[in-house]
Every structure is written in structure tokens, then in C-alpha cells.
Amino acid sequence: MSENRVPGVGERAPSFRATASTGPVALEDFIGRQSVVLYFYPKADTPGCTREACGFRDARAEFEKRNVAVIGVSADDVDAQQRFARKYALPFPLIADPERAIIDAYGVWGERTRPDGTKTVGVRRWTFLIDKTGTIRKVYQNVSPDQHAGEILRDIDELGLAERMEG
């Protein structure tokens, strides 16, 4: 198993252009405009991934108030991402990365432990907080899907990344 290097805090976020549940999306679409929460998850419409995605969905207004975009990435295909987004009314792009181009660029493919304790190889539940210059400000590894959105919102405020939008 060859694991790619994980880009760290202070480094430029690896660029990407891909197809998402909402259509084409690229990191460059956000540079200069807003910060990005780029979160990776193992598989669409599985229990932990659904709780995590719904947490981001439920906190949508708080992310919008801070001018922060949320983007999900998994190795699922576009159809699976679109079904997942429709089923749970997920309002943000879910990138289909079955070739693992983005997954590998961010080094998130590797050994992970499932909730039942079994070890497997796949997409790890990691998140990158990227500021509007394209710089990684925080890397979250071994994320808890239930608390993640709130944890990131606190960090956005603490890191001074929130650009308050009048709502």
C-alpha cells in the first residue's frame, strides 16, 4: 500500500478540478473569494458519513455567515454522490473521485479502522480547512462524524477565518 504525503498546515492546498453532485467544481473557484472546508469520507450513504454530511447540512447557515464553503469528497461515482445529496438534501458539492486523484493528492487513502474495530484500506475521514488564499490552516485526522461541523466552526472563529456575511 503506497500512501501519499499529506499536505500540512501552512502549505498550499493541492489544486483540483472535478465533477461533483452539483456539477463541475474546482478549488480555484473559491480562491480569493472564500475559505473552504474540504472533507473526505469513506462512502456515501453509510451511517457515519451520513451523520457527518447531515451535520454540515444542519450547520449550513453558520458556514454561510462566515463565508466558508463546504465540499465533500469520496471515491464514489457521480450517480452515488447525486443520490446521497438528494436523499439527505445536502446543499454542498460532493465530489466523485473514483480515480482517487484528489484523494491521493491529499494523502487520505490508507489504513483506517471501522467503527466495529476492523481494519481496512480506503478513504480516511479527514478534513482540510483551507483559507481563501488556498493555504491549509488546519488538518483534521480521525474525525468524529457527530461533532465535526461544530469543531470546524469553532476553529474558523479562533483562526480568524470568519468573514461575517450579513444574513
Just list the catalytic residues. Answer: 49
Q: Count of residues for the chain?
A: 167
Establish how many alpha carbons lie within 13 A of residue 57's alpha carbon, considering only the half-sphere containing its beta carbon.
16
Reduced to 3 states (helix: H, G, I; strand: E, B; else coil), residue 58 is helix
Q: Which segments of 30-147 does DSSP mark as H helices, in order?
A: 47-58, 60-65, 78-87, 101-105
Report helix angle 148-158 to 47-58, nearest 10.
40
